[in-house]
Chain A
């Protein structure tokens, strides 16, 4: 089974290229990786008291965790563990954690013990802060969201963002600052003029 999982990713690209896809948000390749590796997670969750929706939720979280660990340098491609296997193990651990949670306390069957993953992030306080930022980010207006996403996530230059919007570069810089202040005000619940 593990070999089959890893084979599916080998069909996509080599490990370094996959890491680059996560780091540089190459959407087409990430989508392919996402789709090719869902099957083992679905299979695992279905066989351990979960539903298809549970599998999708867990897989989503695992995919984000892999991305976070790659950009923090906590995962390096090496012999013995491919990203496909790494992704599957994180999803597996997350599902086992959920089975042990209060909601599933009466569930008796656990397929396997949690697999040790030293690379998995466990800074819950920081995760909580980041979650707060995410929640407030969606409250920002669309223009601010687009501008901040373009600059911080897509790594677009201020010049290109300014050109797309018919602004000067200085205006783009100033608007970006204002959007960040709006976001900070939302996070600290302070009204901004």
Chain B
């Protein structure tokens, strides 16, 4: 604590002499005894000690500030410039690798006849289902269908997934949840939903599920499964797409 109590000059000189180790042993011992018995003196000693420490540190910092100012230009110091160069080169190398990989991926998917290109050409999201907003149970499904039909696939998938997680396994729900994931470009989540319908030949969604499952496999470059499921669909583009897939 910095005391606000005035420190008389003679006492100040005495405290300073004590702190600087300029007292002889006897005087220092006597001063210690006075401090032990006098809290105010202890406070005054602490105050002077902190002030001296602060002055010293301010002066030392002032000196290091001048060192820093004399040493601001990294370019003048080859070893530091070299460190910066190594660092920059490392970043540039990473950037170059990322660019090459991005280019390769873009080329792979966009080249004529590529899987990515075929998928983009033949995939169209299912247009959705007529909503009737009937019973309360239907309401949640229908509300999500509105999201789906307005292109809010994430919201639709989230709402339908919640119903599935609660135990519902209707083919309509499974199919459109798969369709929403697929429209959202999430093939890994779409495929399990669609595959559950492909086990149900009696479902009104069976043929469509086969088509979309085939497209999903095609996107995953699993051409055998793509051909298998597209063959089971009745989509108008099935024949021409199968011809192209069989060339893979």
Residue B56 lies at the interface, judged by CB distance under 8 Å to chain A? yes
Query: Out of A30, A60, A133, A173, which one reaches B55, CB within 8 Å?
Result: A133
A35 to B64, alpha carbons, bound, how many Å? 10
B61 / chain A contacts, CB cutoff of 8 Å: 60, 64, 134
Query: Which of B7, B54, B77 sits near A130, CB closer than 8 Å?
Result: B54
Pairwise interchain contact B67-A126, C-beta atoms closer than 8 A: no
The tally of residues in A whose CB lies under 8 Å from a CB in B reads: 44
- Knowing A30-B63, A130-B50, say if A64 contacts B71 (CB, 8 Å): no
Interface string of A131-151 (1 = CB under 8 A from B): 111101110000000001100
Q: Is B87 an interface residue (CB 8 A)?
A: yes
Q: Mask for B86-108, Cβ within 8 A of A = 1, else 0?
A: 01000000000000000000000
A34 in contact with B67 (CB, 8 Å): yes
Query: Which residues of A have CB within 8 Å of B87?
Result: 43, 46-47
Measured CA separation A190–B53 after assembly (Å): 21
With A25-B60, A130-B57, A133-B58 known as contacts, the answer to whether A180 contacts B51 (CB < 8 A) is: yes
A160 on the B face (CB < 8 A):
no
Tell whether A42 pairs with B55 under 8 Å between CB atoms, given A129-B50, A180-B12, A184-B47. no
Interface contact A183-B58, CB-CB below 8 Å: no
Partner of A60, one of B52, B53, B68: B68
Question: What number of A-B contacts does a CB cutoff of 8 Å give?
Answer: 107
With A46-B87, A126-B50, A190-B4: A64-B57 Cβ-Cβ less than 8 Å: yes
Within 8 A of B (CB), among A102-126: 126
Cα distance A174–B65 when bound, in Å? Answer: 31
B83 at the A interface (CB under 8 A): yes
Q: Let me know if A31 and B70 touch, CB within 8 A.
A: yes
B40 contacts A by Cβ under 8 Å: no
Interface size in chain B (residues, C-beta < 8 A):
38
Q: Is the interface of B mostly helix, strand, loop or mixed?
A: helix
A68 within 8 A of B: yes
Shortest CB-to-CB span from A101 to chain B, Å, is: 21
Which residue of B50, B62, B64 contacts A34 across the interface (Cβ within 8 Å)? B64
A64, A133, A153, A181: the one contacting B50 at CB < 8 Å is A133
Contact B12 A177 (CB under 8 A): yes
Enumerate 17 A-B pairs (CB-CB under 8 Å) in ascending A order.
A30-B64, A30-B67, A31-B70, A35-B71, A39-B83, A42-B74, A46-B83, A130-B50, A130-B53, A133-B53, A149-B62, A152-B55, A153-B59, A173-B13, A174-B9, A177-B9, A183-B55
| B→A interface (CB under 8 Å) | 2-4, 6-7, 9, 12-13, 47-48, 50-65, 67-68, 70-72, 74, 77, 79-80, 83-84, 87
Contact surface of A with B, Cβ cutoff 8 Å: 25, 27, 30-31, 34-35, 38-39, 42-43, 46-47, 52, 56, 60, 63-64, 67-68, 126, 129-134, 136-138, 148-149, 152-154, 173-174, 177, 180-181, 183-184, 187-188, 190
- Nearest 9 pairs of A and B residues by beta carbon: A133-B54, A153-B59, A188-B4, A134-B58, A34-B67, A137-B58, A149-B59, A43-B83, A187-B2
